[in-house]
Each structure stands twice: as structure tokens, then as C-alpha cells.
Structure 1
Amino acid sequence: MAGLDSQKSASNLSTPNDKEGEYHGPDIEKQPTKDETYETREAARRYPETDLSRGVIGWDSQEDPQNPQNFAASKKWALLGLISAFTFISPLASSMFSPALVYMAAEFHETNETILSFTVSIFLVGYTFGPLLLAPLSEIYGRRVILSGANWFFVVWQIGCALSKNIETLIVCRLFAGIGGSACITLGAGVVADLFPTELRGRATSIWSLGPLIGPVAGPIAGGFLGEEVSWQWVFWVLLIASGAMQLAIEVLNQETYAPVLIRWKTAKLAKELGRTDLQSAYDVGRESLSKAQVLKRSLVRPALLLFKSPIVLLLSTYMALVYGLLYLFFTTISDVFTSTYGFTVGLSGLAYLGIGIGFFVGLVIIALTNDRIVQKLTAQNGGKFEPEMRLPTMIIFACILPISFFWYGWTAEKHVFWIVPIIGMFPFGVGMMGVFMPIQTYIIDCYPAYAASANATLTATRSLVGAFLPLAGPAMFQALGLGWGNSLLGFLALAFVPIPIIFTKFGKQIRERWPANLETKKAK
């Protein structure tokens, strides 16, 4: 009851356009009026205050320490670090099995190359369906409980993979492991939006995204040596141990960060303490009253609404999916090229992925150090008004760097040039991919901060679907065209998409504002 005095004295949150005495709840996806800025709407979303006289429950004040936006910097980065750690393990599992595939094929007497490739890529099919369910659920029940349940789901299915007695069982187990493992990939965007203001989101997104991009590269390195020296089953036992230990730490140290859920809990607590039935969360003010079933239904269709009602989300998702598919087409050739052409062992062939991996790391550092600074500079030049499209200009440079690798790697491998040359040739792709992915993900978070998890689910699902099935065509394509022309075809395709970032940068704001994806459920007037 001690906090009630401060709640009683807390004033309404009002914006420059509010009429005196009128309370406005956070209208998150509303398009800005003439006098309204992005920062005004962001402030209304982050800091709705309590007004007991009107039955509205929000934060005690804009400095309320319970608001995740006001957590100490060390606490924010620690919470993000927890998510990022598991975000490394899950993508690690997507590719860690690929070098050991030959040993599994020998044990199960499987010779169909498409089925063998599908055993690896089925994990990404789980990444397609998992986000569409888990992201909306996190916006109903909170990040913590959904992340915890999904992570344990991922951990348990590693046992099924390790104990599989046939390839059909292994495929099913990897599918379910992928569904569980998609939670950290999806909800991390929501946690970034929950904790960090606009000016820090570029750096936060870079740190969180380190796992999803480094994991698939580190996986083959570890998996190759495990399969060669122990057995292919030990790939999954190691994943079980690592993911189980990490999830135990997350279980103990993690906490809820989604503001609407925290205020809902606070509202229920105060209603019980004060014996009042009229209290309402500030995040629900102005919204249509829905049953739990209706809320769940509308939440589950939200990622689809974003994809099909927002052209900018559709275009960015398509572009990310293309780049992600190119990455996994790259992966289909690396192990075979360095074992058959250069005589590497299965274990050593995994080290060839370091070319892409180092490129990822360099690209990540560049984006982390420059993206927020560029945004701050452009905001100042724009009279202090931030626009999400300010994240996108650097994409143009990185999109031009990305195609270089296909010509460099393809033709040097085709001509059997010394092995270090094609490995170095993968480096530009790694840099370019990071320079494309990071701005897009941060842009989506900035556009839809209240529904960052659902927006990121759209990106994750589309790119994972392409990443799962496009590489199945890889062996046939490279067999028909060879490494040189096969990779050149991919390079020309990447070049054809270079104008897309230019279009996003120049016309992104007009597209976003002309076709807004209104995700709120408003009360009928």
C-alpha cells in the first residue's frame, strides 16, 4: 500500500495534442499527425502513468524503476546477454549436424542426397512455424514464460535426436527442436524494444543478432570434429548439455520485460488490494474489450497481417529471405569442396566456414559502432525528429559488397586455386549480410516497438522457409553448372537486388505511411 500515495498523485500522461483533462492511452501503431512526432508516440507507449481517479493503472511516474525502460544499464545488458547466449546455441544446432551427416547416412544406409539435405534443413522449417505462434503468445503472456517453455522444449528434443534409430525419427525430432529453438530468435527483438530507447537499439540488436549469424558458422566447425572423432550422436548430446545448462541460468536470472504484461499484473494486484473492479491497464485504454479467445486469435494472425498489409514489411522480408537463402546455398558446397577438391578431413572442412564467420564478426562490429551514430546525426539534421528509415542508408553499401563472394569463391574453387583464396573469398559475403540484416531488424523494431516480436517473427518465418527449401536445389544446380557458373548465377541474382535498399531508403517512409498496418483494436465510437 506504500506505493498508493505516489499513484494517487501521479498525473495523466498527456501529449502536445491532448485536450485538458482527457486521458489518452498508448495508440501505438497510429500514424503521426501534423504536430505529432515519433518520440511523442514512443513516450506515450513507454511511460503511461497511473491515474486512480479515472481507474487507469500505469507506471508510478516516468522514472518508475519497475519500468524496464528505466532499468539500470548493467541490468539491461545482462538480460539481453541471457537471451543472446541461447540465441547462439539454437542456430548452432541448425548447422552443427551437417558435417557429421556422412556418418549418419552410413549408419542408416541412406543414399538419397535430397533426403540427407532435408535432415539438416528441416530444423529451419521449425524456425518457420515456431515464431508465428510464439511471438504473439509473448505479447499476451509475456516474454519470460514463453521463452522458458520453448527453450526447454528445444532441450528435450535433443535427446530424441541423439537416440534416433532411423532417419524419419531424426527428421521429426529436429523439426520440433527447431520450433522450440525459434523462441530466442524471435523474442529477442521484443526484448530489445522493451529495454532500449531508439538511440541504443542499433547496438543492442547487433549484440543480440551475433548468435543467429555466428552460430550457423561455428556449428560445422564443432560438428565436424565431433562426428569424426566420436560419433554423430554426440553432436546432439553436446547440444543437450550446453542448452540445458544455459536454460537453467536463464530460468534463475531472467525476468519479465514486456510492459503491457507488467502493468496488467500491477492492475490485477491493485484491484485485489483496493477491492475495485473498475481498474484498467493504461495499455488497454481505448481498445475494444475482447475475450481471451478473441485476443489469442487476433494475436496469432498479427504476423500475417504485418506481412500482407504492410508492403514495406513484405519487401524487407523478401529481401532478407533471398540473402538468407544464398547463405545456405553457400553452405551446401563448402564441406564437399574442401574435402573432395582440397583433401581436407571432415573435421578440418568445418574450418573453411571461418571465412564467412570472420566476415560476420567484422560486419557486426561496423554496424554496432556506426548505425546508432548515423541515426543520431540524421535525426539532428531533421530538426530532431527521428524516422525509422534513418536505419537504412548503410544497406546500400553492404548490398554492393555482398555479391563479390560468389564470383571470388566460385571461380577460385572451380580452378582449384590454393585453399586459402576461396576461404578469403567468403569474407565479403559475411560483411555484406550483416550490413543488410542488422539495419532491417532494427528498422522493424523501430516501426513496431509494441509488436516487435510479431514483426520479427514475420522476418524469421519467411527467411527460414527459403533457407530450408532453397538449398535442396543446390546440389543439382552446381552439378549442372559447376562451381564457377553456379555461384556466378547467385552473384548476378544478388546484384539484381542491389537497387532494393536504394528504394527502401528513398521511398520507405512514403510506403510505410501510405499503407500502415494498424494492429490495435479500437473501441467502436
Structure 2
Amino acid sequence: MPDLEEQAEKTSDPVVSAGSSTTTVAQLYPETDLDKGIVGWDGQLDPANPQNFTQNKKWILLALISSFTFISPLASSMFSPAIGYMAADFHVTNESLLSFSVTIFLLGYTFGPLVLAPLSEIYGRRIIFSFANWFFVVWQLGCALAPNLTSLIIFRLLAGVGGVGCVTLGAGVIADLFPIQQRGMATSIWALGPLIGPVIGPICGGFIGEEIGWRWVFWILLIASGAIAAMIEVFNRETYAPVLIRWKTHQLAKDLQRDDLRSAYDLARGTTTTVPTASHVLRQGLRRPLILLVKSPIVLLLSVYMAVVYGLLYLFFTTITSVFEETYGFSTGLSGLAYLGIGIGFLVGLLLIALSSDRIVKKLTARNHGTFLPEMRLPTMIVFSCLLPISFFWYGWSAKYHVHWIVPILGMMPFGIGMMGLYMPIQTYVIDCYPAYAASANAALTALRSLVGALLPLAGPKLFSSLGLGWGNSLLGFLALAFVPVPIFFNRYGQRIREKYPVNLEG
């Protein structure tokens, strides 16, 4: 098994000279050598190599996947404020079932990545991304026409399986297109959707449910996602280098009538140009993310930490609508606007990370004699983790004592800033660690955090009914406070743990 630096050289990244943005062209990408039967790129600057795409083309491709990465998480929470109207239509009074109809979408986010990520590493990003998008679109129609709560829950689960495609494959596309020194900004743009979508969703869903009915939440999602999916079909391109070279190998073998040609990427992995069977792909799909969670302690720890933060976010969401409707007298539509507090926090956190991540990496790389380490993404997490507990105490006690409505809304902002400052460095870290299998590495993160995000909020109603808003949120605040030392641990011991437990994802 090659070490991380060797793997990175084989898969994507040019060397950046310390203290400079100049890229030093070296023998980083495998080149074609027909005398040896090896098919690779036509030189280091081959324009067909996604790493050599023009900057405009790279950012357009990222914008395409990011657009759907906004729509899909939007669907996770857009239905939430309108749930009361659905309950009235279906004559449902069980609060747990109603909550489950919202969070079931995230269970789809749990299972989908285990299959979609490795499929994209076999058949390419484009075709799997397109399939996932249309699978998501189709089940919005099912949700809009659902005759009862059971069918609605099933359709939302299936929609989540398709909707997670953009969230899972985005990390792979970033690794395909961008060198290390640009990944911080790229990840900031792509990560905006999974964090902003769940915040914008309730704002839109509240007014839609109130004015034109809860089913129109899904009709609007159907129209928006269908239009974006159609646009992606037209403009999207394949970006995964091993698949592109495998296609090139097949074409050259046909044109030159040679059956000895092999893809340089497949040879490096000890495989052939034969596309694996569906059963093999599914086995690999289940194995790679699970291998990372089981055999890489640092990935497991980061996944658990991110899952806890994600669970806290959705527990936060369980009270916002009811608090502003019952305590402050907001209508269903206006109560959705309360989510702006956490949304503004996300935007502030995004701006801070986007402006600082790549700069910090360049400075630390220069200080480390030009050697990049993935752990250079993590130092900012120490500061941002301290912001999370603040919101729970601020929001919980101000809402309990009926302080002016703007105070609890402002109290959500520190959590938004802190969560963005944790989410994006972790995402970029796994991309840097496993560039060849970034989608599978991201699948491990996505699956675990989505599982917690789907199940933990089910405990929300009982938690807050037992402890009240003040102590219920304080309990969450103390939990967030207990996790503040975790980023310090990652920064001090992350490299040592990663190097001590290398992971072989090739087999």
C-alpha cells in the first residue's frame, strides 16, 4: 500500500512551491507509453485531464453539482413547518411518527452513499450523479401524491437515497478537479448547500404550507430539481481520471487493434481494464466506507464528532417552529424566518473558512519546508468548536423567559458559525487524505452523521417536554462543551494516528 503522499501524486495534485502559488510541473500524472502497453495522459499538461481543465470550466462543473447539493438538503427540512397540515389531512396525532416523516429523509442519506460513492469510482461521476438526481426527482412526485402517511415516509426515504448523490460525489469531484491549494475554497462553495439548505427549507416550507398547502412543498421541489437535473444533463462532464483513461484505453485498443493495452491507473491498483461486475461493485460499495470507519481511527473519530454536531443541529430544529409559534405568536410562515439566525451564522462561518483555509495551508506548508500534511486543515476547528455551546444557553434561556424574539434568533448565530467552521475542514481533510477515493471517504462521514441526524431528533419532543427549553438546551450545551477538547486532540495526535493506521482501499 503506497503512503498518502505517493497516492496523492498518482491521483491528482501538482506540487506547489512553498510560499508561492506557482505550480511546479513534475511527473505526477501517468503518461501514455504504447511501447509498454500503458495508456495514460498525453503529457502532464494534457487538456483532457480534469486537473488541467480551465479555471472557468472547473468552477462551472463545481457549480453544477453544488446547485443540486442545495436542492437536496433543502428537501430534508422544507416539509417540516407544513407537517401540521399533513397531520390534519391524514388524521395523525402521534408526534413521533410525524417527526419520523421528516427525519426519514436522512435515513436515505445513510444508505445511499454506501452504494453511490463506489459506483462512481467504477463507472464515473457523471452517470451515477445523473441517475441519483433523477431518482430524487421521481420520488418528489410520489411524495406530492402520497395517499397516506406510510407511503409518504417510504417515498421520502427513497428520495433521500437519490438526493444524497450530490452530497456524496461532491467530494470526489473536488478531488478530481482541484489541487490541494484550491480545495479549501472549492469545498466552501460545495458545502454551502448541505448546511444552508436545511435552514432555507423551513423558511420556504412555512409560507408554502400556509398559503397553498403541504403537497405544494413537493410539487415545487419536483419542478426545481427537475429543471436543475435537466441543466446538469446538458453541461456536466466526466471528471474521474481512472474512468476517463479506461475509456481511452478501450478506444485505443479498438483503433490500434491491440489487446495488450492497459490503463495506467488500473495497473497502479493491480486491476485490469475489465469493468467489475455489479455484485463486485456492491461488495466494494459496502466495504470501502466501512473499512475507513473500522480501520482508520482518525476517520472514525472525525465521523463521530461530525455526527454529534449534526445531531445537535437537528435537535435545535425540533423546537424552533413551536417556540416561535407558541411563545412569540408567529404564524407558520413567519416562524420559518426564525431559522435566519442560524443561516446567517452559516454564511459568516463560510466566509471565514473560505478566506482562511487555503491561506493557512500555504503558510503551514511553507513552514514545514514545502511538505503538505492533511492535518494542516484542522487548526481552525479549535476556535470554532468553542462557539457551539454558546448558542444553546443563549437560545434556550432567552426563549424560556420570553425575551424579545430577536434575542433567541441572534442566539442561534454562534452555532451556525461554529458548525460551518467544523464541517468544512473535516470534509477537506478526508479529500486530502484519500483523493483517489474521496467519494467513499466522504460516504463514511455522510452515512454516520445522517444516521444520527435522522434518529436523534426523535428524542427532542420528550427531552424538551421533560426538561423545558432552558435546561433542555443547557443539556445540549454541556454536551457540546464536553466535545470542545476534541479538535485539540485531532491537531496534536491526528497525523500520528493516521500514519500508524494506514488503510488499503484498493482491494
Pair in the same fold by TM > 0.5: yes
1:30 Cα deviation from its structure 2 partner: 1.8
Q: 1:80-479 to 2 correspondence within 5 Å?
A: 80-289=62-271, 292-293=276-277, 295-296=280-281, 297-479=283-465
Aligned to 1:30: 2
Query: Aligned equivalents of 2:297 and 2:55: distance in 1?
Result: 35
Residues 311, 457 of structure 2: 8 Å contact kept: yes
Identity across matched positions, percent = 71
Query: Aligned equivalents of 1:309 and 1:37: distance in 2?
Result: 18
Residues 161, 173 of structure 1: 8 Å contact kept: yes
1:60 and 2:42 correspond: yes
Residues 114, 285 of structure 2: 8 Å contact kept: no
Query: Aligned equivalents of 1:45 and 1:305: distance in 2?
Result: 30
Give the unaligned 5+ runs of structure 1: 1-28
Residues 9, 29 of structure 2: 8 Å contact kept: no
The residue type paired with residue 392 of structure 1 is L
1:286 Cα deviation from its structure 2 partner: 4.2
1:40 Cα deviation from its structure 2 partner: 7.6
1:51 and 2:37 correspond: no
Q: String of CA shifts for 1:400-458, please: whole Å, max 9, x gaps.
A: 11110000000000111000000000000000000000000000000000000000011
1:165 Cα deviation from its structure 2 partner: 1.1
Residues 8, 436 of structure 2: 8 Å contact kept: no
Query: Aligned equivalents of 1:68 and 1:314: distance in 2?
Result: 30
RMSD of aligned alpha carbons: 1.5
Query: Aligned equivalents of 1:263 and 1:305: distance in 2?
Result: 26
Query: Aligned equivalents of 1:40 and 1:178: distance in 2?
Result: 34
Residues 38, 387 of structure 1: 8 Å contact kept: no
**TM-score w.r.t. structure 2 length?**
0.95
The residue type paired with residue 452 of structure 1 is A
The residue type paired with residue 287 of structure 2 is V
**TM-score w.r.t. structure 1 length?**
0.92
Give the aligned length: 491
Residues 303, 449 of structure 2: 8 Å contact kept: yes
The residue type paired with residue 315 of structure 2 is L
Q: 1:478-517 to 2 correspondence within 5 Å?
A: 478-517=464-503
Give the unaligned 5+ runs of structure 2: 15-25
Residues 8, 434 of structure 2: 8 Å contact kept: no
Aligned to 2:55: 73
Query: Aligned equivalents of 1:299 and 1:334: distance in 2?
Result: 37
Residues 135, 453 of structure 1: 8 Å contact kept: yes
Query: Aligned equivalents of 1:136 and 1:360: distance in 2?
Result: 30
Residues 412, 422 of structure 1: 8 Å contact kept: yes
Query: Aligned equivalents of 1:152 and 1:70: distance in 2?
Result: 29
Q: String of CA shifts for 1:255-283, please: whole Å, max 9, x gaps.
A: 10000000000000000000101100000
The residue type paired with residue 259 of structure 2 is T
The residue type paired with residue 401 of structure 1 is L
Residues 91, 215 of structure 1: 8 Å contact kept: yes
Query: Aligned equivalents of 1:437 and 1:97: distance in 2?
Result: 24
